[in-house]
Chain A
């Protein structure tokens, strides 16, 4: 829709075609882009997706919609369409009053009203009374009025107070608030593609990983079942971030969140802590430039997950698990060569395609076993996977070679950064071994779980559609109730 409005702003009359399933999203986006009366014409999603495979199949649909499109371009605008008065929605009340004959009925009414207003996630909520929100805010030294960032698509302002209100509704405790705030700082960072994770038809989800000493202090789970239920810190931190994005960004399924199957783990995302007690390596955030004693949150967009095995079901070796990880990185990477040089989904050439970012969660015991293979830390494991996930130049198709060469060209500096270009320039020749990753650092490794453990992983685009990254680490600060996360 933004593109349609952009062309209208350049003086050209236009019409936007949307499938019926995206009709509400198109209207909402028209408002967000300052042209609510932009002309939109609707076609049947069920029919379009079925017949779009060939011109002959799609022709009957085109014939039926043609008059509508011609009318949209030629019939004069109505008075309503030419009006430029802002829609008067009225300011929302800062405080909402709910009544009931008993606490039980008031609680039920509160949940009904909030869900009717699209202010929830479908599960029962904790009432955000001013007292409860004040209690939540006692967990941070930061001003309630500080704006952390804006949440798409409505660019709602994420103030510390609004984050605290949502944290109350999620059932979080005040000592979790600094973690929740740091996660929201990452999600609303100018470089993080929150629009894609929060709104895309691809049903992506979010990984929220806490590393550093605050994790133990607030009781985060990092042992067996760390991605599961039953852990108040993990579950309500994730739920607070989920509610904050929904409510601050004004997001609702099929209205502007077009995740076709919904987002996996929709209420709590994938929220866990690195296992500081059993992890033989330095914490993840140290590899991101932070100090060991810092406490940090890493937020990463993720797609589907997979296991690399381990556990109690069968015997495992570090070499066997490493081989499976390499095979996966190689297999996924090989499929993506053809999209390295795409024009790009968003403003950035190559965006929305190209190289995959891997997010791998290892169980602690494997770090000790990897030492026997000469792999002593996270960086050396990244290097090992990177070195092995290569394809012989002779095995690449001409189209794959062309795609990589396009990404080496001008304009694609974010797709293949200048410092990595020589690797591909040198390998794209006879006898060359071409890495499927741009950099070893695109293979992100976390350590969580216990013994027995299971190695698992997720992946996502290294270069998302609309912003430069889908992973960011932020330092936790402003904590008042814990020894860690204060500065």
Chain B
């Protein structure tokens, strides 16, 4: 006969959450050529240098593409997002972290 096990009933300390809805990303663009690519970053040091490099490389490979570079808050503000989205076909977003 085995030894009887001691049992501890314990309450779960984790906060209950409401799972957010799941949205799918947008369909991708077919090609970079001829498109306007948005480059958004916050003001963390060095992101401007990285984006300058990306900007130069993209334009070298796709001479007909253009970029729109915007520096703003960590999370782009609503009004800026609307204006930015209206100017671009696709975007790269980085915050330097």
Contacts and interface: CB of A to CB of B under 8 A. Distances in A.
| Genuine A/B complex | yes
A217 B4 CA distance: 44
A324 interface: no
A12 B74 contact: no
Nearest to A60: B53
Given A10-B81, A53-B45, 10 more contacts: A13-B26, A34-B20, A36-B22, A37-B25, A73-B92, A83-B22, A96-B10, A97-B7, A98-B7, A98-B10
Given A17-B94, A18-B97, A343-B72, A89 B19 contact: yes
Nearest to B71: A343
21 contacts: A3-B95, A11-B26, A15-B93, A18-B97, A34-B23, A52-B45, A52-B47, A55-B52, A59-B53, A59-B57, A85-B22, A89-B19, A95-B12, A119-B12, A129-B8, A130-B11, A156-B17, A169-B13, A201-B97, A243-B13, A465-B74
B12 A166 contact: no
A13 B25 contact: yes
- 6 A-B pairs closest in CB distance: A156-B15, A52-B46, A248-B15, A62-B53, A10-B85, A17-B94
A346 B11 contact: no
A119 B15 contact: no
Contacts of B22: 34-36, 83-87
Contacts of A352: 74
By secondary structure, the A interface counts as: mixed
Nearest to A10: B85
Interface in B1-39: 3, 5-32, 37-38
A17 B23 contact: no
Interface in B43-90: 43, 45-47, 49-50, 52-54, 56-58, 61, 71-78, 81-82, 84-85, 88-90
A38 B25 contact: yes
Interface string A108-146: 001000100001000000011110010000000000000
B64 to A, nearest CB: 15
Interface residues of B, number: 68
Contact of A84 (B10, B24, B78): B24
Given A82-B24, A345-B74, A247 B91 contact: no
Given A4-B93, A66-B54, A77 B24 contact: yes
Contacts, number: 269
Nearest to A33: B20
Contacts of A110: 8, 10
A162 B15 contact: yes
B73 A345 contact: yes
A351 B75 CA distance: 12
A313 interface: no
Contact of A76 (B11, B20, B28): B28
A419 interface: no
A48 interface: yes
A322 interface: no
